[in-house]
Structure 1
């Protein structure tokens, strides 16, 4: 059984744009991903609204930060971790540069790759996913003031992080987009598109790793 841990924020959790609710198991991308893969894969959902890469103190903070990911690694012993963070770090109150956000992601991945699962001797792999750019519209416009321009630069910085740490990378913005009316979260069809793209990537990753 191949265990795949999906670690992210509200868009991994499944927040519905402009609605205080969550997409159901037939709509959000981790569950759709599970349905698109064979029974040889176990997809583990670990999305949480407002989760950040920087301000939750990686590996030394509250349950929404990388310390919680460490607990997940201990509990699930995954073979592959999909990490998609960075959107919440764009909030105006944090006043972070793109480089600072990328540095936070770098630390998360570095410590994840060095983690040794107690009951799994296989090498732990990471797929870094850059979230799609945001829009400064509606309710979130003031909260994310200045964030839209930064979000356009995340993919380049995250790709550099992946090359530095020799982990895999995917730019979600090449296949999906944030809700243009709400700005941050995704319409339901975007979840399906992302799941389809990731299912292809994950199959290739496990085939490659099997041959190594």
Structure 2
């Protein structure tokens, strides 16, 4: 068997990919250290043959211009440029949907799933992968939230919706032929703000996603060997 090739994975997400520490108020902008954030944990497990790109933007939505925080929070508007700037990319992990739960957007879980599907189609229609092909894709359903702390009003009604996101996003992953991971099976939010992951959650999620990426990589190598 020939040695594994160097590979790149783009982690496209929101504040829980950025590594935002649970917040006590709007001016609390702390960020977990690189080796605590789940992309950093994943990178540590995968090893030097992988280049893990953290592209987490606090407040990022799937497809919505945010009327309060700004149009630059719109994930689908930013994704094409990021795919071009980081290519060639072997694999894209998308974990979005939490900010779509804000009361200001008033969308059901099914719409959030469809929005993730639109993002997936952008990746699959791109030439950002090796040799101008599209990258492969993993959709990650975000961890369910709680309505607590200073963010409770902003996410009013979101906790119940968040518990249906896993099914909605799993269905979207099946429709676009992407791998699917439910982050809620590994991580939980901190009760301080009900939105951001605990440090233990980051570690567990990073390890779990590293296993998924390793499984994907092994399948790719096996496919090449049978060609």
Paired residues in the alignment total 209
Q: 2:115 & 2:193 partners in 1: Cα distance?
A: 26
Distance change in 2, residues 1:140/1:37 (3 Å): same
Query: Match for 2:162 among 151, 155, 175?
Result: 151
Please state how far the C-alpha of 1:27 moved relative to its aligned partner: 1.3
Query: Which of structure 1's runs of 4+ aligned residues deviate more than 4 A?
Result: none
Paired residue for 1:94, among 89, 105, 111?
Answer: 105
Q: Which moved more, 1:153-162 or 1:187-196?
A: 187-196
Cα 1:184–1:118 change in 2 (3 A) is: closer
Q: Which of 20, 25, 42 is the equivalent residue of 1:15?
A: 20
Q: Structure 1 residue 26 and structure 2 residue 35: aligned?
A: yes
2:200 corresponds, among 171, 189, 192, to 189
Give the 5 Å matches for 1:15-94.
15-18=20-23, 19-56=28-65, 62=72, 64-77=74-87, 78-94=89-105
Structure 2: gaps spanning 5 or more residues: 1-5
Q: CA deviation at 1:131?
A: 0.5
- Alignment gaps of 5+ in structure 1: none
CA RMSD of aligned residues (A): 1.7
Once the two structures are superposed, residues 71-103 of structure 1 have per-residue CA deviations (whole angstroms, 9 ceiling, x without a partner) of 111111111000000000000011111111111
In the other structure, the counterpart of 1:108 is: 119
- Give deviations 1:177-211, integer Å, cap 9, x for gaps: 11123200011111111111111110000111222
Distance 1:144 1:171, change over 3 A: same
TM-score (norm 1): 0.93
Partners of 1:92 and 1:146 within 8 A in 2:
yes
Is the Cα contact below 8 Å between 1:140 and 1:183 reproduced in 2?
Answer: yes
CA contact (8 A) 1:56 1:66 kept: no
How many angstroms apart in 1 are the aligned matches of 2:222 and 2:192?
45
Deviation at 1:38, TM superposition (A): 2.0
TM-score with structure 2 setting the length: 0.87
Q: Where does residue 141 of structure 1 map in the other structure?
A: 152
Larger radius of gyration: 2
Contact residue 83 and residue 128 of structure 1 kept, 8 A = yes
Q: Distance in 2 between matches of 1:155 and 1:76?
A: 28
